[in-house]
């Protein structure tokens, strides 16, 4: 709807302009080998970069395997003291006419027993780093969702710390926090990777492994994975855990398949059982067999 309103006053659609900027910025980062620069990763890098550069508090929310930690690692590496000159040159080449300072990251690990005093202590330490105007300081709150479960209610301290922050703040969580905890930050909810993203990721992994994989074989693996992830039964959700299987199992499956020099139906089945196994109950085996036979 917003895109249509913008389009009425512009020759190009707003969404197309935004996607172009996201793509151009993502190309400024050094992407590790065997990592596919799919749309999810591009969007993560885009919002992370601008929130950190402008000291806008934000939280990345997504299931395991949605490139949350990977996005941060890529950004921290590209904006390190060692690589910052090269990164700024790439920004200039992509018509982004500004420079950024190297990034100094202080990380806090959230747990189910952490306390507000520990957060405040590390926050004060991070603020002291910000006195150096030649660097950008970042307070990274990893597994902030676990901290929300602490009986000490440690996240209450964020209300005061994020009121007028002098430093950048990024939280990482596998699930959304209580709305009151997130009303002082931008929340970027990361969806599961779409079919195109899965295909691109698989091709990058296989390209680096020199594997002679057929296009149909990749399609078959992706189809099985998508059916497992969208299965409406509880066969793949032990004790109601909907995150028991995820994108990391897909990545491992592709890498495992790529190591097989001679691919037989039996070997392929072993790959599925190894990477989508770990459950003994009959419902799981029956449902997996049904999906593989379709």
- Summarised one tens digit per residue, pLDDT across range 2-31 is 456 555 566 567 888 899 999 999 999 999
**Which has more confidence, 181 or 41?**
41
Q: How confident is the model at residue 284 (pLDDT cuts 50, 70, 90)?
A: confident
pLDDT at 151: 96
The predicted model scores a pTM of 0.86
How buried is 280 (Cβ within 10 angstroms: 0-12 exposed, 13-18 middle, 19+ buried)?
A: exposed
Contact 145, 174 (CB under 8 A): yes
**How many other C-beta atoms lie within 10 A of the C-beta of residue 1?**
5
Contact 87, 78 (CB under 8 A): yes
Task: Find the mean pLDDT for residues 196-215.
Answer: 76
pLDDT at 242: 79
* Cα separation, 147 vs 162, whole angstroms: 16
Q: How confident is the model at residue 220 (pLDDT cuts 50, 70, 90)?
A: confident
Q: How confident is the model at residue 145 (pLDDT cuts 50, 70, 90)?
A: very high
| Domains of the chain (ranges, CATH numbers) | 2-189 (3.40.50.300), 195-293 (no CATH)
pLDDT of 219 above 80:
yes
pLDDT at 7: 56
Strands 168-173 and 186-189: unpaired
pLDDT at 265: 55
Contact 114, 153 (CB under 8 A): no
pLDDT at 36: 87
pLDDT at 266: 56
pLDDT of 264 above 90:
no
Looking at residue 234, the DSSP 8-state letter turns out to be S
Task: Find the mean pLDDT for residues 96-110.
Answer: 96
How far, CA to CA in Å, does 80 sit from each of 74, 136, 194, 279? 10, 10, 31, 42
Look-up: residue for tokens 């306390």? 115
Helix residue spans in 137-281 (DSSP H):
144-147, 157-161, 179-182, 195-209, 215-229, 247-259, 265-275
**Closest Cα to residue 32, out of 60, 71, 63, 62?**
71
Q: Summarize pLDDT for 25-36 with one digit per residue, the tens.
A: 999 999 998 788
pLDDT of 116 above 60:
yes
Task: Find the mean pLDDT for residues 174-178.
Answer: 92
**How many other C-beta atoms lie within 10 A of the C-beta of residue 215?**
9
**Closest Cα to residue 168, out of 186, 155, 182?**
186
* Lowest-confidence region among 16-30, 63-77, 122-136, 263-277: 263-277
Contact 4, 16 (CB under 8 A): no
């Amino acid at each position: 709807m917003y895109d249509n309103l913008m389009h009425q006053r512009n020759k190009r659609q707003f969404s197309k302009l935004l996607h172009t900027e996201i793509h151009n910025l993502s190309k400024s980062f050094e992407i590790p080998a065997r990592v596919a620069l799919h749309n999810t990763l591009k969007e993560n890098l885009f919002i992370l970069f601008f929130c950190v550069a402008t000291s806008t508090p934000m939280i990345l929310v997504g299931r395991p395997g949605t490139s949350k930690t990977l996005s941060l690692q890529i950004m921290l590496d590209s904006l390190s003291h060692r690589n910052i000159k090269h990164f700024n040159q790439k920004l200039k080449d992509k018509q982004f006419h500004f420079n950024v300072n190297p990034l100094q990251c202080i990380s806090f690990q959230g747990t189910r027993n952490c306390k507000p005093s520990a957060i405040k202590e590390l926050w004060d330490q991070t603020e002291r780093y910000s006195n150096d105007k030649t660097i950008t300081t970042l307070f990274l709150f990893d597994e902030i969702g676990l901290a929300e479960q602490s009986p000490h209610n440690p996240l209450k301290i964020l209300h005061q710390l994020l009121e007028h922050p002098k430093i950048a703040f990024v939280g990482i969580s596998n699930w959304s926090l209580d709305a009151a905890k997130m009303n002082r930050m931008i929340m970027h909810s990361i969806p599961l990777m779409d079919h195109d993203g899965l295909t691109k990721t698989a091709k990058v992994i296989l390209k680096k492994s020199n594997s002679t994989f057929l296009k149909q074989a990749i399609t078959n693996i992706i189809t099985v994975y998508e059916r497992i992830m969208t299965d409406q039964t509880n066969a793949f959700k032990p004790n109601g855990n909907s995150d028991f299987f995820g994108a990391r199992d897909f990545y491992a499956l592709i890498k495992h398949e790529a190591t097989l020099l001679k691919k037989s139906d039996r070997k392929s089945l072993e790959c599925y059982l190894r990477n989508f196994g770990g459950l003994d109950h009959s419902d799981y085996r029956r449902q997996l067999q049904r999906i593989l036979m379709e």
